Structure 1
Amino acid sequence: MTALPDCFCPTDGTRVPAGSLAWCCPVCRGPLDLDFAPTPAPLASLTGRVNSMWRYAECLPLAAPTVSLGEGRTPLVPLREGVLAKLDFLMPTLSFKDRGAVLLAELALRLGPRRVIADSSGNAGTAVAAYCARAGLPCTVYVPEGTSAKKLEQIEAHGARLRVVEGDREATARAAREAAGEDGVFYASHVFNPYFLHGTKTYVHELWEDLGGRLPDAVVLPVGNGTLLLGAALAVAELHAAGLIDKRPALYAVQAAAVAPLARAWSEGADDLVGVTPAAPTFAEGIAIPHPPRARQILSAVRASGGAFLTVTEDQIRHAQADLAGRGLYVESTGVACWAAVREGALGRREAVVPLCGAGAKTGMARA
């Protein structure tokens, strides 16, 4: 087995040795990053490799996977001139979260914890439950009350224990983090654990390969906790450092106007969250995160790319979901946020790719 890299805190530099079950910085309690700087393989060398995200083996911190469900390599289809959609809802558990969950389960399998726990508004918990089932690991998923019944059914179908927490997404995270302090527990956090980000970055490696060794002018990404956007930023940096792209794409972050703490900080020119953002009802429940722990990193990544933050209203989300369904693509309401922004002309004539992140079968149609 390849040696695991150490983790470190991006805020204060504290190091956490490889093999530890620690899930956050022991000093500031913030999320961790991975001491890992891979070099991607040239385009020509990918021919004939396994047709999953594991074809980018040089860029992944875990080798020789044993729990893969064939995740990755999702289709790229046109929506209109200059706009492509990547169909990440066609993953094994019907959301992009499989990209990171497979790495968390693979890591947990190698560390041998007594049990695995996760917290989620639905999709991440479903993905962790599925991959823990594949790995034969006991798993408990904490979810907020009001989570889609179909997502709860899917989590339990994979054999995970369900803990429904009274209150919102933040209350759920607090409950899971308290349990994560118990001995022998692996906290499969899609927010705090950097392995998840190194899974989501394969989204951009696939774009680069499918576009023939280049990236579009703009990559548009939904942002709640920012795991897909931060993974995208990692991949762009890797490809650029290796000389495999000349120009970095602008990263555009989309939030629901109802819960948009990062967009607010961006509009005020801040490097971190400003004020208090209360939780509010929104069709985009998967990105309704009032206090994302990686806020500083998200704002910095968007700024460095030359991108910006965009917000969408509930009506825009609802109309975008119906529009995609009319094009043959049934996507959950959170997953249509980026198309809701782009179809309004926010990027002008720039070439862009939007992700369709979760299947509509998980939540049904948004209703006025």
Structure 2
Amino acid sequence: MSVLPDCYCPVDGTRVPSGALDWCCPACRGPLDLDYSPTPAPLKSLAGRVNSLWRYAECLPLGEAECTLGEGRTPVVRLTEKVSAKLDFLMPTLSFKDRGAVMLAALAGRLRPERVVADSSGNAGAAVAAYCARAQLPCTVFVPEGTSAKKLEQIGAHGARLEVVAGDREAAAVAARAVADESGVFYASHVHNPYFLHGTKTYVHELWEDLGGRLPDVLVVPVGNGTLLLGAALAVAELHTAGLIDRRPALHAVQAAAVAPLAAAWQAGADDLGDDVVAVVPTFAEGIAIPRPPRARQILRAVRESGGAFHTVSEDQIRHAQLDLASRGLYVESTGVACWAATREGGSVAAVLNGRAAVVPLCGAGAKTGLAVSRSV
């Protein structure tokens, strides 16, 4: 069994030893990072390994699969001559959140807390509930009112206790954090716990392997709390430092125009979010409608250092993109089509590609929310 790395606060350097149940920096209450710099295995050594994200064991802080459902290794399909999609909605719980949730459940399985708590707008909660069920860990998931009925059904079906919180996504997070501070509780936060990011980074390791040891010129990523984008940045850095890629792709981040605090900060040239309160306007992209992402500074820096940019998409663009993908045989939930909305013809990412190759993630299954055109926001 591998030795767990320590955590540290990227803001003030406070260290948290491995094995502790601390979910945030004790000094500033901010998210933690892992003191962990792995070296990926070369392409040729991956042949014959387990066909899941655990094939990249050298880059995973837990080392070996401990409560796996066979997650990862989702296919890549071409949408246009230059744009492909990675079908992460074909995960065991039908969203990309499985990549990080399996890490959290495996870590909790090592630490053996009295119970696990999480907060979510739906997909992360379903993933955490499923992997806690696999690991036989008691789990409670806090969700905001208005969460998709199908997502609530899925969370409950996995045996998790549901706590529906009056208010928005942030209200659910506040309620979960109050419980997370109690003794013996493991907070399976896909935002604060860095193990989640080391799970989502396998999205890029898989792309690198499937593309024969290279990455596309551009990675288009949806951003709410930024867990997929920050995971992608981790993987790109690992592959580049190891000499396994000779250039880093640009990271282009997509938000719904209705709730776009990071895009607004980007346009203002800011390094972090300001003090203004961002209104949470109803949007079809409910999974990325996050008014104050705790890792905002890290997200903005990652996009800037990659040479990428931020983009926003309207509700009409989301509706049309979902129908367009469905007409191609891909039924994707409305949050999960945001990147295609920005990258298909007429989108702002499409306008800056200039013939470069790009990959978009399709993050969640359409069965979780239904068609955007059939719902009101």
Shared fold per TM-score greater than 0.5: yes
Matched, 1:363 2:369: yes
Out of 59-68 and 32-41, give the one that drifted further. Answer: 59-68
What's 1:144 paired with? 144
What's 1:76 paired with? 76
What's 1:103 paired with? 103
The 5 Å alignment of 1:250-329 reads 250-274=250-274, 275-329=276-330
1:66 deviates by 1.9
Matched, 1:204 2:210: no
Out of 329-338 and 339-348, give the one that drifted further. Answer: 339-348
1:348 deviates by 3.5
Matched, 1:24 2:24: yes
What secondary structure, in the 3-state scheme, does the structure 1 residue paired with 2:312 have?
strand
What secondary structure, in the 3-state scheme, does the structure 2 residue paired with 1:225 have?
coil
User: Which letter maps to 2:357?
Assistant: E
The 5 Å alignment of 1:42-53 reads 42-53=42-53
Matched, 1:39 2:39: yes
Q: TM-score, normalised by structure 2?
A: 0.97
Tell me the alpha carbon deviations over residues 107-138 of structure 1, each in whole angstroms, 9 at most, x when there is no partner: 00000100000000000000000000000000
Matches of 2:64 and 2:167, distance apart in 1: 40
Q: TM-score, normalised by structure 1?
A: 0.99
Runs of 4+ with deviation above 4 angstroms: none
User: Which consecutive unaligned segments of at least 5 residues does structure 2 have?
Assistant: none
CA RMSD, 1 decimal = 0.6
What secondary structure, in the 3-state scheme, does the structure 2 residue paired with 1:85 have?
strand
What's 2:169 paired with? 169
Matches of 1:161 and 1:114, distance apart in 2: 14
Tell me the alpha carbon deviations over residues 254-309 of structure 1, each in whole angstroms, 9 at most, x when there is no partner: 00000000000000000001222111100000000000000000000000000000
Q: Identity rate of aligned residues, in percent?
A: 80
Tell me the alpha carbon deviations over residues 28-59 of structure 1, each in whole angstroms, 9 at most, x when there is no partner: 00000000000000000000000000000000
1:357 deviates by 0.1
Matches of 1:199 and 1:55, distance apart in 2: 12
Matches of 1:4 and 1:58, distance apart in 2: 13
User: Which letter maps to 1:352?
Assistant: A
Matches of 1:64 and 1:310, distance apart in 2: 37
User: Which letter maps to 2:356?
Assistant: R
Matches of 1:63 and 1:57, distance apart in 2: 5
Matches of 1:37 and 1:126, distance apart in 2: 30
What's 2:337 paired with? 336
Matches of 1:12 and 1:61, distance apart in 2: 23
What secondary structure, in the 3-state scheme, does the structure 1 residue paired with 2:263 have?
helix
Tell me the alpha carbon deviations over residues 188-217 of structure 1, each in whole angstroms, 9 at most, x when there is no partner: 000000000000000000000000000000
1:349 deviates by 2.1
User: Which letter maps to 1:271?
Assistant: D
What secondary structure, in the 3-state scheme, does the structure 2 residue paired with 1:266 have?
helix
